[in-house]
Amino acid sequence: MDEPSGYPMPDDALNFSGLLSDYDRNGFFCELTSPRADGAEEFARIRRRLDRLAQDQLRRRNADAERELFDLGITFTVYSEKDAIDRILPFDVIPRVITAREWAHVEAGVVQRVAAINLFLADVYGDQKILKDGVVPADLVLDNPNYRPEMRGLNVPHGTYAHVCGIDVVRDHEGTFRVLEDNARTPSGVSYVVENRTLMLRAFPDLMEDTHVRPVDDYGIRLHEAMAAIAPVSDPQVVLLSPGIYNSAYFEHVFLAREMGIPLVEGRDLVVENDRVYMRTTRALAPVHTIYRRLNDEFLDPEVFRPDSMLGVPGLMRAYRKGNVALANAVGTGVADDKAVYAYMPRIIRYYLQQDPILPNVDTRICREADALQYTLDNLEQLVVKPVGESGGYGMIIGPKATKAEIEDFRVKLKADPANYISQPTLALSVAPTLADGGIVPRHVDLRPFAVTGASTWVLPGGLTRVALREGSLVVNSSQGGGSKDTWVLA
């Protein structure tokens, strides 16, 4: 599918006289004001309605929405901040809008990518043809801490390993969508997608009236259908396995269990007998057939992984290997969302699907390779360098934003362990109008579409738009001060 293109008019042709009159995108591609090849009429109506709003009215509605988030317990935990146990993800009331044509392109790219990820996982835990053919270095996979030899030879239903994927997508200065990273373990944030829409419907019914936006409220139904599709029996019992109330995403666990209409359990609620999984109830043991787990591999089964884990279920892997229970996501999917493996994804797509990637990667250099390491060291001031196994924006450096001392300190780390890092150019990420203390200002955004795969793949229309609330910041992660917006996909 071709990249949407052919933007028909310059954005300086847009005339605002109210809320957006002082908005300046500062040369970046803007998700609301830069022209599109389709959806012009809908965009114009949304912009006009926004422009007519008074700023104090917008602030009042924004404050009401954030208060509701906190009252509903829609929070996450930042473990590094001892005095901030519960925090809401800041919500910005100005929506991010995606046209039907743009979404069709993103959706097709996500479906393609998820298909390649699942084929790759089936191969590396099977015949390992891609490693033998030298398309991906064998040691990059087999020495990866997320590679689980326990999965070798284990056939999973429909060949699906990554049942829930969050594919992080950014847009560059030309408006081209690019994949920034893959999240194939336990991607979080979908609860905000649904709750943000609920907040918008309550706070801005006037803005959404007669605007044809695709719904997001059927995610729980779709997820449950996928969990049922991989179960070993018909009419299965599905449960959501959580580490417990102190996990940073516990609200999301509660939310998803409620949306799917299934029990929320912890490891102590489950038991394995005769290689079958049961749930403790007030009356008797009840069989469990699919576990949507929000628990990392190493804590799942103390018989196989960490023996000191109090969060998992002893014997779970035995039941899994016998085919008596399905796990979503499958054990060992982390090897596919490693940032070094990410760099090979275009080759992986071509190898398994004989197709060019619909969504290109951000240009990436793998520092374990000598040429790439030298290039990174020579250009550290201009690059973004990330550790391959970290998430949440931790352990990285953004060269143009770093001090000389920070760059030199990072240079030492990079030389000491080059295999732990990748480098990428500093992208001019797209921006969206955002409410700040100084008025309506451009802030950088990304997008995390969520793909749900059982026998086939469905992509939630829109996904999570994260916004870097700090001026000039490119880091959108919630743990690093980012917020979120409602994402409207025009029907």
pLDDT tens, the chain, 491 aa long = 566 654 444 444 467 888 999 999 999 999 999 988 888 888 888 999 999 988 998 898 888 888 887 777 666 655 455 555 566 678 898 999 999 999 999 999 999 999 999 999 999 999 999 999 999 999 999 999 999 999 999 999 999 999 999 999 999 999 999 999 999 999 999 999 999 999 888 888 888 888 899 999 999 999 999 999 999 999 999 999 999 998 888 999 999 999 999 999 999 999 999 999 999 999 999 999 999 999 999 999 999 999 999 999 999 999 999 999 999 999 999 999 888 899 999 999 999 999 999 999 999 999 988 999 999 999 999 999 999 866 656 788 999 889 999 999 999 999 999 988 999 998 889 999 999 988 999 999 999 999 999 999 999 999 999 999 888 888 787 666 688 999 999 98
**Three-state DSSP class for residue 388:** coil
Dist. CA 390–CA 397, nearest whole Å: 12
- H helix intervals, 288-416: 316-321, 339-342, 345-353, 370-378, 404-416
> 20 and 46 in contact (C-beta within 8 Å)?
no
93 HSE (CA, 13 A, CB side): 30
Dist. CA 383–CA 378, nearest whole Å: 10
Give me the sign of the Cα torsion angle 262, 268, 271, 277: positive
Give me the sign of the Cα torsion angle 141, 147, 148, 153: negative
Residue 215 has which token pair?
């719904």
Dist. CA 136–CA 129, nearest whole Å: 10
Q: Report residue 72 CA to chain centroid gap.
A: 23
List, in order, residues 6 or more apart from 307 with CB less than 8 Å away: none
E-only strand ranges, 289-330: 290-293, 326-328
Residue 30: strand pairing partners = 431
CB crowding 287-325: b at 16 or more within 10 Å, else e = ebbbbbbbbbbbbbbbebbeeebebbbbbbbbbbbeebb
Give me the sign of the Cα torsion angle 398, 400, 405, 408: positive
Residue 457: strand pairing partners = 453
- H helix intervals, 154-218: 190-203, 205-208
Dist. CA 189–CA 341, nearest whole Å: 23
**Three-state DSSP class for residue 179:** strand
Q: Which strands sit side by side in the sheet containing 264-265, from one edge to the other?
A: 264-265, 238-241, 290-293, 326-328
Residue 208: strand pairing partners = none
Dist. CA 83–CA 103, nearest whole Å: 40
Tell which CATH classification among 3.30.365.10, 3.50.50.60, 3.90.1150.10, 3.30.1490.270 matches the domain 365-425: 3.30.1490.270
Helices 370-378, 404-416: axis angle to 10 degrees equals: 170
Residue 298 has which token pair?
């190493």
Quick one: residue 334, left, alpha or beta (phi over 0 = left, psi -120 to 50 = alpha)? Answer: alpha
**Three-state DSSP class for residue 462:** coil
